[in-house]
Structure 1
Amino acid sequence: MPPSLAPKGLLTACVLAALAFSSVESYTCQRCALNTCDSSTQRSCETSQSCFSYRQELFSTGQPLTFVEEKGCAERQCVPLNFSATLGANTMFAYGHQCCSSELCNTGDFQVPRKSSVLNSVQCPACYTENNSLCEAVLLNCAGAETRCIQVNGTDGDRASIFAKGCATETACNLKNLNVLNGIIIHTHCVDTHGASPPLLSVTSSLLTALILLKVLL
C-alpha cells in the first residue's frame, strides 16, 4: 500500500470497528431474586447478550417440596437446558433454563417438565440416599420422556454426599458440576437400558439353533 493511503486505510478500519460496536443490540430483561419472581419484585437490567429464566422444582409423592426461580441478564452466552428425573420411588426433580433475546422477553411464567402418567416400557433401578448410607434400589417403571436410567452423584454446601438412581430424560445425561437447589453440585451418568438385550438374544438364538441341529442329527 502506498504511504499516502495508509492513514486513510487505518481511518476506514477504525470507523468500521466503531460502527460494528455501536450496532450491538441491547435490551431490557426482567430481573428477580431467588423464589421472589412475582409482580411486586420485578426489576430490570440491560444486556447485549440475552435474558434468562430458570426454575427448579422438587416433588415427593406428587406434592411440591421446594422450588427455586430466578430471572435476569445473562453475563455470558446463555445455554438452555430442560430435564426431569424420577429418583427413588416417589421423588421427582425438574429443571428448566431458557434463554431469549428481545425486549423483556423473560417476563411471565414458564413451566418445567411435568410428570407423565403414560408408561414407556423402560424400567430402571431407583433409590435415593445421603452420606454414603445404603441405597436400596427398587425397580421403577419409567414414564413419558424419561427413557434413560440415570445415576446421580452430588454434594451439598456442607460437603455431604448424595447418591440417587432412577428414570430421566435424555437431556439429564452426562451433566457435570451443575448447581441445583441453591448449592447442591451434581454429576450425572446414564446407563444404556438396551445394553444387556443383544447378548441375551444372541445366546438364546444360539441355544435354539443347537437344539434344532441336535434333534435333526438324532
Structure 2
Amino acid sequence: MTVSLAVCLLAALLGTGAGLQCEVCAAEGHNCSGSLQTCPAGQDSCGIFLTEVTLAEVKSQSILKSCVTSSQCKAGPGSVDFGYQMTRRVSVACCVGDACRNTSVPTFDAKPNGQRCRGCFVSNTDHCTEQIIYCSGAETRCINAAGTILTAVGNLTQSILKGCASESVCAQLKVGPATVAGISANLTTAKCTAASGVAGLAPGPAGFLLPALAGLLLNLLSPLPTATPC
C-alpha cells in the first residue's frame, strides 16, 4: 500500500512537471549569458534570436535568448530592406533542454534572390521617394506600411515604410497595433504583395535623404534586443 501511494505521488509530480527552463539574456554582439528561468505556460521552446541592422553600410548585431512559442520557432527568418542602405534581419534557432548547449543560429542570407520591390523610408511627411530594391534571402514579398512608429527612445513619429520583406514579417503586418520587423507601430496602411520585377522606375536620390534619415533609423532600427522577440 505504501509503495503504491509513493508511485502515485511520483506520477503526479511528473505530470505537473517543473516547467521548461530557458536561458534568458540580451546583449550586443553574437553571444550573451544569463540565468535559467522557468517559462510561462504556452511557451514550450527556448529561442535564440540574432539581429543584424545595417545603416549606411554600418552593420551592428545583437542577440536575445528567451522562452518562446513553437509558432515563433516556425515563423522563419525575418528580413526587411527599405533601400537607402537600411536593412534589418533576424535569424532564429530554437531548442529544448540539453540541445541548447550546442545550438547555433543560422547565418544571414544576403544573396540576391531575383525579386524586386519599390522601397523608401520617411518620417513626418506624406511623400515617399521610391527606388528599386533588390530583394535577398527570404525576402519574397513587397511591404507597404504607414502609421505611427514608436522609436527606441520612446518617441512617436509618422512614417512610411516600403521595401522587400520576408513572409514572417508580413505575417505580423496588420492595421492597428502591429510589429514591423521588431519595430512597434500603430499602422493605418498594412499591405504585402508578391515581389516581382519592376520596370521603368529609376532609383531615387538617396544621397540627400540619407543624412536626414540616419538619426531616425538609429532609433527605429536599434540593434538592442527587447524582452519580446518578433
CA distance in structure 2 between the aligned counterparts of 1:147 and 1:98, rounded to whole angstroms: 21
- Displaced runs of 4 or more, over 6 A: 14-17
Query: How do residues 24-39 of structure 1 correspond to structure 2 at under 5 angstroms?
Result: 24=17, 26=19, 28-35=21-28, 38=31
TM-score (norm 1): 0.62
Aligned-residue CA RMSD (Å): 3.7
Alignment counterpart, residue 124 of structure 2, candidates 126, 131, 140: 131
CA distance in structure 2 between the aligned counterparts of 1:179 and 1:165, rounded to whole angstroms: 11
Alignment counterpart, residue 100 of structure 1, candidates 95, 99, 106: 95
Shift in Å, 1:30: 2.3
Query: How do residues 18-167 of structure 1 correspond to structure 2 at under 5 angstroms?
Result: 18=12, 21-22=15-16, 24=17, 26=19, 28-35=21-28, 38=31, 41-47=33-39, 49-64=44-59, 66-74=60-68, 79-80=72-73, 81=75, 82-103=77-98, 105=100, 109-111=104-106, 113-116=108-111, 118-120=112-114, 122-153=115-146, 155-156=149-150, 157-167=154-164
Check 1:25–1:169 CA distance in 2 against 1; reply closer, same or farther (3 A cut).
same
Shift in Å, 1:132: 2.9
Q: Secondary structure at the match of 2:171?
A: coil
TM-score (norm 2): 0.59
Shift in Å, 1:144: 3.8
Check 1:105–1:32 CA distance in 2 against 1; reply closer, same or farther (3 A cut).
same
CA distance in structure 2 between the aligned counterparts of 1:160 and 1:123, rounded to whole angstroms: 27
**1:185 aligned to 2:185?**
yes
The worse-fitting range, judged by mean Cα deviation, of 24-33 and 126-135 is 24-33
How many residue pairs get matched?
176
Q: Is the 8 A contact 1:31 1:43 kept in 2?
A: yes
Shift in Å, 1:73: 3.4
CA distance in structure 2 between the aligned counterparts of 1:72 and 1:124, rounded to whole angstroms: 33
Aligned to 2:203: none
